[in-house]
């Protein structure tokens, strides 16, 4: 079980990386959430923002596996506690790699190593294209996509 997406963004790997990890960028592309972590291998992280538990809802959390600025971000992830009572037992791996290609950045996202019968697998297939579209628009223009939600 895996989701794999590739897109090309008309921005430098540094700009795309900034969108992936800065508070301004994550709020723009991850539905108003901020990424909290010290970004050291083995450290914890969490995406926190408006949701089921108010402004400090933990939407996703986990462990940093690899963090090489402007190149690769990999982590194990769990759904936030308000999304599933068995959140700690549900897991997948996310790996985002950035590669310069001419004047663009090739972004490859692989979401794999899913816990069997993970209830978020199908929904995630719909969510990643939305997030990658937002990443592309924000990295290229600084604008936020308005999905009307």
Rounded CA-CA distance 110/93 in Å is 8
* Domains and their CATH numbers in the chain: 3-141 (3.30.530.20)
Residue 22 confidence (pLDDT) above 80: yes
Confidence of residue 63 (pLDDT cuts 50, 70, 90): very high
Q: How far is CA 90 from CA 46, 61, 119, 122, 130, in A?
A: 15, 11, 8, 14, 22
pLDDT value at 131 more than 80: yes
The token pair at 126 is: 């719909």
Main-chain phi, psi angles of 32, to 5 degrees: 85, 10
Count of beta carbons in the 10 Å neighbourhood of residue 29: 23
pLDDT classification of 146: cutoffs 50, 70, 90: confident
> 105 and 99 in contact (C-beta within 8 Å)?
yes
């Amino acid at each position: 079980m895996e989701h794999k997406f590739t897109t090309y963004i008309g921005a430098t790997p540094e700009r795309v990386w900034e969108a992936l990890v800065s508070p301004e960028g994550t709020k723009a592309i991850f539905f108003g959430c901020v990424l909290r972590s010290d970004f050291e291998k083995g450290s914890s992280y969490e995406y926190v923002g408006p949701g089921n538990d108010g402004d400090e809802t933990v939407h996703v959390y986990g462990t940093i596996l690899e963090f090489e600025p402007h190149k690769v971000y990999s982590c194990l992830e769990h759904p936030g506690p308000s999304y599933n009572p068995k959140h700690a037992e549900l897991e997948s791996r996310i790996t985002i790699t950035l590669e310069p290609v001419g004047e663009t950045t090739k972004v490859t996202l692989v979401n794999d190593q899913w816990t069997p019968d993970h209830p978020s697998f199908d929904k995630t297939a719909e969510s990643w294209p939305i997030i990658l579209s937002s990443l592309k628009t924000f990295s290229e223009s600084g604008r936020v996509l308005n999905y009307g939600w």
